[in-house]
């Protein structure tokens, strides 16, 4: 499942030459296993190498605690984790215009 998400995101990035940011909503994620953590870390690095910053939104406390424990948050700069997807989109757009609905993956 994580490999499929990674492949789809990287394919999307390849199609969008001017893409600078991706927001991944974790609102339905209650736990991330070691395989998922490795995939997420690799995705952050691969996107960064492609000039795209991965942002996380709506990460639940226990999941964020796990990210901290394994050092994943060391790959995230301040401003890459948001309390809500809406806040992420507004912040990344740099204005207060209403956000367009996200495209279904």
Each residue's pLDDT tens digit, 71-97: 999 999 888 999 999 999 999 998 555
What pTM does this model have? 0.82
Question: Looking up tokens 């995230």, which residue turns up?
Answer: 76
CATH number assigned to the domain covering 2-93: 3.30.750.24
Residue 6: band (very low, low, confident or very high) from pLDDT cuts 50, 70, 90 = confident
Contact 43, 9 (CB under 8 A): yes
Phi, psi for residue 22 in degrees, rounded to 5: -130, 135
Each residue's pLDDT tens digit, 29-73: 999 999 999 999 999 999 999 999 999 999 999 999 999 999 999
Buried b (16+ CB within 10 A) or exposed e, 49-78: eeebbbbbbbbeeebeebbeeeebbebeee
């Amino acid at each position: 499942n994580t490999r499929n998400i990674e492949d789809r995101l990287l394919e999307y990035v390849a199609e969008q030459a001017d893409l600078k940011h991706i927001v991944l909503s974790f609102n339905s994620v209650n736990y991330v296993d070691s395989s998922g953590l490795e995939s997420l870390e690799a995705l952050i690095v691969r996107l960064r190498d492609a000039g795209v910053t991965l942002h996380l939104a709506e990460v639940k406390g226990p999941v964020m605690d796990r990210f901290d424990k394994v050092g994943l948050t060391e790959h995230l700069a301040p401003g890459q984790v948001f309390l809500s997807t809406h806040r992420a989109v507004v912040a990344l757009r740099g204005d207060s215009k209403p956000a367009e609905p996200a495209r279904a993956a």
